[in-house]
């Protein structure tokens, strides 16, 4: 009789240990191509969004069908809770937040569990069935609820950034909060949308916020305690290199450059590749003369110290809100018969850049769409030269790309078999007006704009060696009303000789990556809103993506 309680306790302990072990991430997975896990935002550190899986391929993609659906549970009942205020404040999703995708998070998949997020929420879902395991609700103190890109994982802990500027650590097995730390004050109109990235014993944390002229930075935090390890400011301080590209130290310190995009990483070089946002004031370049380093740039930092190693500015002296916060994609390729370590970016301003990622030397600069008209040429560094006549004016200035950009934050993909770089694009025009205001100019004040014409949305394949287009698939019906690129979700390519991309009208399409021929498609009530992932579980390859407030899983049905 006395043994029964002991046995019960022992069994419970075994189950608890087993659950904890299943919720733990093997750090070795972070440096490998994603196969039976998708352990970080990009799948691996490279940002290629490519999978070596080929169970789903050109011969059977026609049999791809739904495995399960999970609709995001936003009820507070039964949720694990945490927060910066005693009671949740009322928040309002921004314009088009649901139409543009409530679930913008790229899921993690570790040991058969999917982890994903939305502003103020995180979930754990069974990757086989879509059954909810737990959900977490953050009691917010406000902030911009435009979206959340996803979670990061270290051991059996998860990391979530919140709209009111906190980073929160959760127990992956239970969803219970371990701790939270403030990144920046929401009262200064900072907010946080990005997915952190775990590199060794560093949690790399990005920051958002563009309403006021405030400092911006990237920081590294201790995964155990949340304490800051290092902080890199995106604009220089007095006496630092690059300060000469600003009128004065005060303007530089408050010049913006938010790092909205999750970083990529080269373990051999121990370099983080971070892309920075637009300078502030956003459209009044006359108030911040100079190239305004290191805004709208690709910057390489030492992962252990946060010290800058090199930079390349995608949009010098940006005056149109064309941040460079698009994915820096890492791959190796022979250039002129020599192996090179490369980083590529398709920037919001309409230009494609190929750089040597060891030193930042430019190898290719070319437009990946035809419409951009804001530049006068390209300098010796391979950086576009802005045309001051295309700045906002009292009478208006006709500019392309429009405010959504030729590309935006959603990830492209690079396929090492085809050696092509793929992305969804948009072309359109906008008139930018400037008007006088009384008092100081902050953020976007003194400016307004109006979209006046669209050209198209299209899926494009770029040869990185030359920057030339290999093929273009134009989306029918998008000529007069192109969709913002971020509303089409990110891309995924696989060794099954497939390229997956969202298309306007709620389509998700599989293409032949060699020529852009459509092989299969399905439609949803909303456009694809996140970046699809794929993984192998119990010998079955799944594909998972989000549209609106639902997560969908697909597999081949024979």
- Average pLDDT of the residues in 30-51: 96
The rounded distance, in Å, linking the Cα atoms of 390 and 400 is 10
Least trusted range by pLDDT, from 8-12, 199-203, 378-382, 521-525: 8-12
Q: Note the pLDDT of residue 89.
A: 66
The rounded distance, in Å, linking the Cα atoms of 545 and 510 is 13
Domain assignment present for residue 516? The answer is yes
Q: For 301-314, what is each residue's pLDDT tens digit? A: 999 999 999 999 99
> How many angstroms separate the Cα of 385 from the Cα of each of 279, 346, 382, 392?
16, 17, 9, 16
Residue 333 has pLDDT above 90, yes or no: yes
Q: Is 49 left (phi over 0), alpha (psi -120 to 50) or beta?
A: left
Q: Which alpha helices (DSSP H) does 191-297 contain, by range?
A: 249-253
Residue 98 has pLDDT above 80, yes or no: no
Element (H, E) at 457: strand 447-462
Domain assignment present for residue 396? The answer is yes
DSSP 186: G
Least trusted range by pLDDT, from 15-29, 200-214, 242-256, 511-525: 15-29
Percent of the chain beyond pLDDT 70? 93
> How many angstroms separate the Cα of 247 from the Cα of each of 189, 286, 359?
24, 10, 28
Which among 452, 471, 451 has a CA at the least distance from the CA of 461? 471
Domain assignment present for residue 22? The answer is no
- Give the CA count within 13 Å in the CB-facing half-sphere of 42: 29
Domain assignment present for residue 433? The answer is yes
Q: Are 530 and 546 in contact (CB under 8 A)?
A: yes
Q: Note the pLDDT of residue 480.
A: 81
Cα-based angle 364, 366, 370 (whole degrees, multiple of 5): 165
Number of H helices, E strands in the chain: 2, 37
Domain assignment present for residue 27? The answer is no
Q: Mean pLDDT over all residues of the chain?
A: 92
Structure confidence at residue 19 as a pLDDT band (50, 70, 90): very low
What the block records as the tokens of 138 is 């953050």
Q: For 406-421, what is each residue's pLDDT tens digit? A: 999 999 999 999 999 9
Residue 206 has pLDDT above 50, yes or no: yes
Q: Which residues contact 359 (CB under 8 A, 6 or more apart)?
A: 310
CATH classification at residue 184? 2.140.10.10
Q: Is 262 left (phi over 0), alpha (psi -120 to 50) or beta?
A: beta
Domain assignment present for residue 265? The answer is yes
Q: Note the pLDDT of residue 52.
A: 98
**SS3 for 31?**
helix
Domain assignment present for residue 472? The answer is yes
The rounded distance, in Å, linking the Cα atoms of 407 and 462 is 14
Domain assignment present for residue 41? The answer is no
pTM: 0.94
Edge-to-edge strand ranges of the sheet holding 498-503? 50-51, 492-494, 498-503, 507-511, 518-523
> How many angstroms separate the Cα of 175 from the Cα of each of 77, 128, 159, 234?
14, 19, 11, 33
What the block records as the tokens of 413 is 């993909």
| Greatest alpha-carbon span in the chain | 90
Q: For 497-551, what is each residue's pLDDT tens digit? A: 999 999 999 999 999 999 999 999 999 999 999 999 999 999 999 999 999 999 9
The whole domain housing 294 covers 46-556
Q: Note the pLDDT of residue 167.
A: 98
**SS3 for 2?**
coil
**Number of domains observed in the structure of the chain:** 1
- Average pLDDT of the residues in 288-297: 97
What is the β-pairing status of strands 492-494 and 50-51? parallel
Tokens 């069994």 — which residue?
Answer: 11
The rounded distance, in Å, linking the Cα atoms of 517 and 326 is 26
- Average pLDDT of the residues in 202-214: 86
Structure confidence at residue 441 as a pLDDT band (50, 70, 90): confident
Q: Note the pLDDT of residue 222.
A: 98
Q: Is 260 left (phi over 0), alpha (psi -120 to 50) or beta?
A: alpha
- Average pLDDT of the residues in 189-204: 96
The rounded radius of gyration (Å) of the Cα atoms in the chain is 23
């Amino acid at each position: 009789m006395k043994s029964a309680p002991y046995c019960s306790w022992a069994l419970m302990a075994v189950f608890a240990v087993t659950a904890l072990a299943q919720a733990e991430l093997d750090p070795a997975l972070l440096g490998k191509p994603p196969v039976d896990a998708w352990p970080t935002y990009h799948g691996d550190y490279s940002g290629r969004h490519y999978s070596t899986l080929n169970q789903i391929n050109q011969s059977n993609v026609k049999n791809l069908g739904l495995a399960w659906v999970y609709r995001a549970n936003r009820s507070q009942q039964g949720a694990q809770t945490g927060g910066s205020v005693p009671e949740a404040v009322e928040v309002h999703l921004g314009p088009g937040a649901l139409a543009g995708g409530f679930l913008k998070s790229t899921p993690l998949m570790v040991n058969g569990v999917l982890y994903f997020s939305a502003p103020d929420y995180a979930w754990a879902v069974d990757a086989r069935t879509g059954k909810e395991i737990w959900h977490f609700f953050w009691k917010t103190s406000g902030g911009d609820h435009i979206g959340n890109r996803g979670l990061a994982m270290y051991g059996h802990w998860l990391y979530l950034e919140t709209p009111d500027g906190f980073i929160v650590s959760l127990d992956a097995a239970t969803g219970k909060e371990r701790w939270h730390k403030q990144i920046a004050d929401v009262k200064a109109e900072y907010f946080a949308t990005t997915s952190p990235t775990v590199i060794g014993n560093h949690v790399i944390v990005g920051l958002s916020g563009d309403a006021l002229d405030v400092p911006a930075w990237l920081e590294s935090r201790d995964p155990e305690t949340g304490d800051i390890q290092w902080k890199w400011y995106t604009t220089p301080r007095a006496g630092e290199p690059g300060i000469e590209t600003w009128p004065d130290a005060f303007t530089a310190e408050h010049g913006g450059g938010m790092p909205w995009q999750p970083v990529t990483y080269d373990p051999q070089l121990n370099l983080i590749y971070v892309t920075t946002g637009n300078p502030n004031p956003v459209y009044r370049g006359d108030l911040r003369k100079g190239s305004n380093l290191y805004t709208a740039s690709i910057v390489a930092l030492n992962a252990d110290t946060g010290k800058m190693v090199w930079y390349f500015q995608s949009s010098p002296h940006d005056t149109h809100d064309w941040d460079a916060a698009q994915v820096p994609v890492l791959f190796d390729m022979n250039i002129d018969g020599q192996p090179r370590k490369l980083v590529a970016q398709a920037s919001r301003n309409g230009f494609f850049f190929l750089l040597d990622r060891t030193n930042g030397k430019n190898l290719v600069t070319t437009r990946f769409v035809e419409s951009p008209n804001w530049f006068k040429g390209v300098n010796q560094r391979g950086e576009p030269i802005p045309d001051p006549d295309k700045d906002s004016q009292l009478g208006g200035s006709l500019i392309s790309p429009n405010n959504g950009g030729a590309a935006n934050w959603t990830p492209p993909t690079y396929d090492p078999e085809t050696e092509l770089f793929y992305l969804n694009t948009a072309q359109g025009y906008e008139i930018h007006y400037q008007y006088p205001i009384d008092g100081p100019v902050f953020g976007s004040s003194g400016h307004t704009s109006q979209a006046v014409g669209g050209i198209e949305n299209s899926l494009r394949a770029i040869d990185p060696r030359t920057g030339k287009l290999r093929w273009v698939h134009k989306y029918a019906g998008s000529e007069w009303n192109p969709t913002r690129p971020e509303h089409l979700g990110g891309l995924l390519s696989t060794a099954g000789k497939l390229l997956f991309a969202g298309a306007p009208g709620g389509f998700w399409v599989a293409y032949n990556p060699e020529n852009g021929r459509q092989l299969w498609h399905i439609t949803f009530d909303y456009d694809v809103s996140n970046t699809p992932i794929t993984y192998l579980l119990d010998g079955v390859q799944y594909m998972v993506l989000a549209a609106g407030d639902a997560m969908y899983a697909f597999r081949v049905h024979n």
